[in-house]
Amino acid sequence: MEVLDTTIVNVSLPHIAGNLSTTYDDATWTLTSYLAANGIVLTISGWLGRVLGRRRYFLICILAFSFSSFLCGIATSLPELIIFRLMQGFFGGGLQPNQQSIILDTFPPAKRGAAFGLTAVATIVAPVIGPTLGGWITDNYSWRWIFFINVPIGVLTTFAVAAVVDDPPWAKKQKSSVDVIGLSLITIGLGLLWSLQNVQPFCPHPLRQVISSLICRLRGFRV
């Protein structure tokens, strides 16, 4: 669900813009907000997993992602949709890192290769079929259903994870401190990166060159 939602909205932007009485350029912030929140939380998901317990944090992310998807589907204005997409990206970003460690601890060594392979295929295929699936849903139903579709899947996944997944002793809730300065710098840096990339095409040529230079520097900082 989380990977699929990085691209499923793309082809629905004209419908979203028209339905919410905004411009196409403004509607692209629904993509930027999701990706920015997703990138920021990736850096702290390990710490959150230690503080809350990996299984508990994973379940919270699934439920909150599903609820955020529902909120996106009922949004009545662009600011609401952007806020709900930020929430969706924040909780969705915690799923990817934790699922890898859960697979490692859940499957025996003989089956880990198949499990990781299936996960890799889903991760690669989901962004590819996202625009096609999003366009089909939007044309046949409504753009709101590209978000509503996550809700039943999320509920079923929550029950499945609660029944099957368990934390080993080392992955249970622990006391851990957070690097506030590092987290703040990452948040500001990634936020600026995504914002500048979104604004750059609409700036005058000289300013565009300055922004391109800043984007390159921020990318280097992120690496």
- Residue 133 pLDDT > 80, yes or no? yes
pLDDT at 71 (0 to 100): 93
- Among candidate residues 48, 43, 76, 77, the one with its CA nearest the CA of residue 64: 48
Q: What is the rounded distance in angstroms from the CA atom of residue 193 to the CA atom of residue 219?
A: 7
Q: Give the lowest-confidence range in 33-37, 117-121, 143-147, 194-198.
A: 194-198
Dihedral angle over CA of 1, 64, 27, 73, nearest 10: 80
pLDDT at 191 (0 to 100): 64
Confidence at 197, pLDDT banded by 50, 70, 90: low
Domain assignments of the chain as residue spans, ordered by start: 4-173, 179-223
What are 208-217's pLDDT values in tens digits?
A: 555 556 555 5
Higher pLDDT, 142 or 104: 142
* Mean pLDDT value across residues 108-128: 81
Give whole-number Cα distances, 142 to 10, 13, 217, in Å.
Answer: 14, 12, 40
What are 42-92's pLDDT values in tens digits?
A: 777 877 877 787 888 888 999 999 999 999 999 889 889 999 998 998 888
7: its two tokens? 């691209």
Q: What is the rounded distance in angstroms from the CA atom of residue 164 to the CA atom of residue 154?
A: 15
What are 167-194's pLDDT values in tens digits?
A: 766 656 666 566 667 667 666 666 666 6
Q: What is the rounded distance in angstroms from the CA atom of residue 37 to the CA atom of residue 94?
A: 10
Dihedral angle over CA of 200, 83, 120, 151, nearest 10: -150
Is 55 exposed, middle or buried, given 0-12, 13-18 or 19+ CB atoms closer than 10 A? buried
pLDDT at 84 (0 to 100): 92
Confidence at 114, pLDDT banded by 50, 70, 90: confident
- Look up the CATH architecture of domain 4-173: Up-down Bundle (1.20)
* pTM for the structure as a whole: 0.77
Residues of the chain with pLDDT > 90, as a percent, come to 8
